[in-house]
Amino acid sequence: MSTRGKRNKIQICECGESISEEVWKWVIDDSQKALEKEPAMQGLLRDVCLSRSCLAEAIVARLARKLSRRDMSREDLEPVIREALNANPCIIECMARDLVAIADRDPACHSPLEPLLFFKGFHAISTYRIAHWLWQQKRYMLALQFQSVSSEVFGVDIHPAAQIGSGILLDHATGFVVGETAIIRNNVSILHEVTLGGTGKEDGARHPIVESGVLIGAGAKILGRVTIGECAKIAACSVVLNDVAPHTTVAGVPATVVGSAAFTPALDMNQELCP
């Protein structure tokens, strides 16, 4: 395994300007190494990374390749994604922070190149970011189409009106469901089969708020307009129907408090009930 040992993670200087440029250098560097080791990957590496000039162009190519279906071809997808990334430069910075978060928190991941190419959690959140921009432009139908394609391709169903911060790790991703009025702050880690769902038929705010630093275990269902406090931990398969205080761990069906939580569960990724 030593050949796959982690390189020193980049120190992200928050005061500095563009994380996406820093990430892009890392991606290109690792793409060239990968090309030498595995010539069979050259098609993907050249199309998505080595023939591109910046992270945004790489994202355009990567998402359009993945989402291409009979409903929307790569030809249809690329102009829309490019338009969104050009119109709002924050989007690419959020994607860059997601890549850094994944490389930092996932022990099976050794470079942002891996999620950029292969992790459907990253692809699904990035697709949501495009759909969310379309929704903000009141292009509702096209936003719904991106949501629909994401649900088909990744098994991830995020309503384009939901609000999601940066530094998100969505691990494995299959079955992730997020409702229309849900809010997720920065630096949150979420395992697969998690639901941030609504209740009832009213159309006001009816989905959860997840504060920063939270870790949500696989299979957890959080339902209704509840707030998961900062740095709380939701154990796997919990059903959460009430607010969760910051820095606490909840578990069970329905979920009850079982302990306090580590400084930042989202960064530790510790799934145990007693941290």
Which residues ranging from 224 to 263 are in contact with a copy of itself (CB under 8 A)? 224, 235-239, 241, 251-254
Structure tokens that stand for 36 in this block: 């030498």
Q: Residue 127 belongs to what H/E stretch?
A: helix 120-136
**In the complex with a copy of itself, which residue's Cβ is closer, 76 or 243?**
76
What DSSP character marks residue 248? E
Specify the residue, 95 or 196, whose C-beta has the smaller distance to a copy of itself.
Answer: 196
Residue from 7, 32, 79, 163 in contact with a copy of itself (CB under 8 A): 79
Residue among 21, 78, 230, 243 that touches a copy of itself (CB under 8 A): 78
∠ CA(2), CA(174), CA(152), 5° rounding?
125
The size of the interface with a copy of itself (CB under 8 A), counted in residues, is: 95
- For a copy of itself, which is the closer residue by CB, 11 or 70? 70
Alpha-carbon distances of 55 from 149, 166, 198, rounded to whole Å: 23, 16, 35
Q: From start to end of 40-171, where are the E strands?
A: 157-158, 163-164, 169-170
Residue closest to 116 by CA, chosen among 47, 16, 181, 17: 47
Tokens, residue 251: 């578990």
Residues 13-72 that bind a copy of itself (CB under 8 A): 34, 37-44, 46-47, 50-51, 65-66, 68, 70-71
Q: Residue 130 CB, nearest distance to a copy of itself (Å)?
A: 13
Task: Give the one residue of 27, 80, 99, 190 binding a copy of itself; rule: CB under 8 A.
Answer: 80
Verify binding: residue 172, a copy of itself, rule CB under 8 A.
yes
Q: Which is nearer to a copy of itself, 96 or 143 (CB)?
A: 143
**CB neighbours of 167 closer than 8 A, spacing ≥ 6?**
97, 98, 100, 101, 186, 187, 188
One of 12, 28, 54, 142 touching a copy of itself (CB under 8 A): 142
Q: Which residue has the tokens 């338009």?
A: 83
Answer for which of 152, 163, 257, 263 binds a copy of itself (CB under 8 A) is: 152
